[in-house]
Amino acid sequence: MCIYKSPIFENKCFPMYIEQINTKRFNFLFYLPIPVLFLGLMVVNYFSTQDVNVEDTLKLFIDQFGVNLTFVILIGPLSAACLFLLFWVKFVHQQSIRSLTTSRKKVDWKRILFSFTIWGLFSIVSTLILYYNAPENFILNFDASKFYIFLILAIVLIPLQTSFEEYLFRGYLMQGIGVVTKSKLAPLLITSILFGLMHIANPEVGKLGYIIMVYYIGTGFFLGIITLMDDGMELALGFHAANNLVGALLVTADWTAFQTHSIFKDVSEPSASYDVLFPVLVIFPILLFIFGRKYEWTNWKEKLSGTVREYNVEKELINIKGKENE
């Protein structure tokens, strides 16, 4: 049975993003270690920081190691974890990185670039507007020698860090939970909430309160929705890379997880206000509309809450060849 007609491949039968790994080859025992390990690390990280002032700890690290080395210490393990996860998928699961990334015949780099560009430009413009409206909240932090060293580190490490989070949540967990539960809604809900909870030990939470979790979880839902609707992670990969990379290069603050040699430094007193809800309630829906129109998304209900069917690769290939010979 044809799961759906793919306009990308001239309306040939083609599996959707989660369905493509829902085969007899899927081994739950091989899948289990990664989620268990990550959830364990999340729990340990949360409880180990309960009696610790994360902001003060970051300052101690910066005083001892400097901004750039502290950045590498914090981001390096996540960047390395990306390579480990891809290795695990490729050699333990014997699953292609392409199928972890997308349901298309090959990874669509134009999608990644489009998403990166649109969110990168939005981040730059919105920061400049904030600076223009309240210049007293910012100081020029630019130091050429320090900035360009950080620029190199950021370009190398941040895309790996954001890709790890995307491959873990929107890739590995999204596909695995979908196969186990036979549902698309379950992995969307679970991965989005877990993505938010991963940030619960960030210094931003201690400074702004748990209201900031609305933004983190809301961002998880947005990234999950565009992955399921687009049948691939390309848009999520581009968005997340732009969000962290452009943000780290543009603005830093003494109370954020990323304290960098950025161009500007925010010296305002942090508070949770409209800027927590505005992206989730206004900006993300606008982006969904833009992506949906550009890539002609349809059948939202089925793609976001439908049933995950088993995909028989051999049978589908026979069906495709049969249709081609007709």
Cα angle 149-150-151, degrees, rounded to a multiple of 5: 90
**Interatomic CA distance for residues 316 and 15, integer angstroms:** 9
Q: What percent of the chain has pLDDT over 70?
A: 90
- Rounded to a whole number of angstroms, the distance between the first and last alpha carbons of the chain is 17
Q: Under 8 Å CB-to-CB from 326, ≥6 apart: which residues? A: none
**Interatomic CA distance for residues 174 and 210, integer angstroms:** 25
> Is residue 305 exposed (0-12), middle (13-18) or buried (19+ Cβ within 10 Å)?
middle
pLDDT digits (tens, 9 = 90+) for 291-318: 999 999 999 999 999 999 876 654 554 4
Q: Residues 195, 165: contact at Cβ < 8 Å?
A: yes
What total of structural domains would you count in the chain? 1
In the chain, DSSP finds a helix count (H) and a strand count (E) of 16, 5
Alpha-carbon torsion 307, 310, 313, 315, what sign? negative
Q: Residues 178, 184: contact at Cβ < 8 Å?
A: yes
Sequence-ordered strand ranges (E) for the chain: 5-6, 12-13, 138-140, 251-252, 264-266
* DSSP 8-state class, residue 310: -
pLDDT digits (tens, 9 = 90+) for 87-98: 999 999 999 999
Query: Range of 221's domain?
Result: 5-325
pLDDT digits (tens, 9 = 90+) for 8-18: 444 444 568 99
**Interatomic CA distance for residues 106 and 14, integer angstroms:** 13
> Which pLDDT score is estimated for 51?
80
| pLDDT tier, 20 (very low <50, low <70, confident <90, very high otherwise) | confident
Q: Residues 203, 55: contact at Cβ < 8 Å?
A: yes
**Interatomic CA distance for residues 100 and 26, integer angstroms:** 13
Structure tokens at 300: 């939202």
Mean pLDDT for 40-49 is: 88
Mean pLDDT for 203-229 is: 94
Amino acid type, 233: M
**Is the model's pLDDT at 1 over the cut of 50?**
no
Query: How many other CB atoms are found less than 10 A from the CB of residue 193?
Result: 15
**Is the model's pLDDT at 69 over the cut of 90?**
yes
Alpha-carbon torsion 71, 76, 81, 83, what sign? positive
**Is the model's pLDDT at 226 over the cut of 60?**
yes
